[in-house]
Amino acid sequence: MTWDHLSFPTFNQSCTSLLCRHLSKQLFQQLKSRVTKNGFTLAQAINSGVVNQDSGVGVYAGDAESYHLFNPLFDPIIADYHGFSKTDSHRSDLDLQKLSAPNPDPDGQFILSTRIRVGRNITGLPLGPAITKIQRNLVESQVSGSLRNLTGELAGTYYPLSGMDEAVRSQLIADHFLFKAGDRFLDAAGLNRDWPEGRGIFHNRDKTFLVWVNEEDQLRIISMQQGGDIETVFSRLLKAVVEIEKTVSFMFDSRLGYLTSCPTNLGTAMRASVHIRLPLLADDMPIFKDIADSYHLQIRGIDGEHSESKSGIFDISNKRRLGITEVDCVQDMYDGVVALISREKEL
Ligand code: ADP
Ligand code: ILO
């Protein structure tokens, strides 16, 4: 689906995205001539959701200013996704002691692996949808330079995507360590421009600590390992974030928390997930979805968002990231996973 960027886009009858629910003709007219200092427009913000009518959300921000300039559109979308109203404010809490998440599956019957990530973007630069090639390359050199100073368990190597051996790249994706190329949602948001230049992955020797550079956000800081030891994964992530923040300053808004290119990631920018085998619940999707909804969980497929589940294995994560703390994000995921495992056992 293409459109002229000037007139109100057509949405299919079947479209259920937050964009098509919240963008009226009148709002489009009100916002269509606004341009941020980085040259980012409403048409760019909504292009992904117009071109991909199966989007769940459909909008991206080009810079910090986008969240203010286009707030008549972003605010209702943010409220809808996170349950975060105009008068709410965001709060951070990285205190591991407040988390109660002992391994919910010590025998390894259900949980294959645990992963917790946060998104981060550098203060003063545009976000990925509006960044220039020179700025993106600058992010890569600044971040890879900073990561080079990490020590101990976090020490590792930065591997640029440009020039990476194809077999190595495919294996990293298949093993769930690296982002895919050519995502159509990111593509329409302008996030794949100049691909693969400026993109890459840093990881430690065991691939338990990883940083994606210049994918949807400038940094995705990731801690992951096999099994269900959520507290160890969270603790490693906190250590890494604190170390990286010593040398890089990240975009933070007093109301919206950490700023990210997709509004679903605002606030903590944290997604805590497990890959979990739930074959019986998989056969009873209404019950599965009911439990997921009541614990604020999102169900994804095994290869990430917009992918399918295979062999009854799902990616289960916290859905809310804004207006709740980092500890709450992980606690949401933990509480929901305990409930899912208990239901799977009953079945
Ligand atoms: P994100 O937005 O968190 O980066 P994606 O849905 O794009 O998430 O997934 C990125 C990659 O991380 C995918 O390969 C996905 O399978 C992998 N992944 C997510 N959660 C886990 C997990 N708990 N264990 C192993 N891999 C995971
Ligand atoms: N733009 C896509 C993805 C939305 C949320 N996920 C991420 C990775 N940001 C959509 O609207 O479905």
- The fraction of the chain above a pLDDT of 70, given in percent, is 100
- Residues 229 and 103 placed together within one structural domain of the fold: yes
Tell me which residues of the chain have a pLDDT lower than 50. none
Q: Which atom of ligand 1 is nearest to the CA of 180?
A: 14
Report the CATH number at residue 169. Answer: 3.30.590.10
User: Residue length, the chain?
Assistant: 347
Q: Which atom of ligand 2 is nearest to the CA of 260?
A: 9
Q: What pLDDT does 155 receive?
A: 98
Q: What pLDDT does 304 receive?
A: 75
The pLDDT tens digits for 124-178 are 999 999 999 999 999 999 999 999 999 999 999 999 999 999 999 999 999 999 9
- Residues 310 and 340 placed together within one structural domain of the fold: yes
Question: Which segments within the chain are labelled E, that is strand?
Answer: 111-120, 156-160, 200-204, 209-213, 219-226, 252-253, 257-258, 270-277, 297-300, 313-318
Residue 159 lies in a domain: yes
Q: What is the mean pLDDT of the chain?
A: 96
- Residues 31 and 133 placed together within one structural domain of the fold: no
Report the CATH number at residue 75. Answer: 1.10.135.10
Q: Which atom of ligand 1 is nearest to the CA of 305?
A: 6
Q: Is the CB of 298 under 6 A from ligand 2?
A: no
308: left (phi over 0), alpha (psi -120 to 50) or beta: beta
**Active site positions, annotated:** 117, 216, 220, 262, 264, 271, 300, 305
Nearest to 45 by CA among 27, 30, 56, 60: 60
Q: What pLDDT does 318 receive?
A: 97
Q: Is the CB of 116 under 6 A from ligand 2?
A: no
In total, how many domains does the chain have? 2
Place of tokens 């949808």: 129
Pocket test for ligand 1, best of 57, 120, 273, 278 (most atoms within 8 A of CB): 273
By CB atoms closer than 10 A (0-12, 13-18, 19+), residue 240 is buried
Q: What pLDDT does 26 receive?
A: 97
Nearest to 343 by CA among 276, 296, 271: 276
Full domain range(s) for residue 328:
96-346
Q: What pLDDT does 325 receive?
A: 96
Residue 188 lies in a domain: yes
Q: What pLDDT does 45 receive?
A: 98
The pLDDT tens digits for 283-316 are 999 999 999 999 999 999 988 777 788 889 999 9
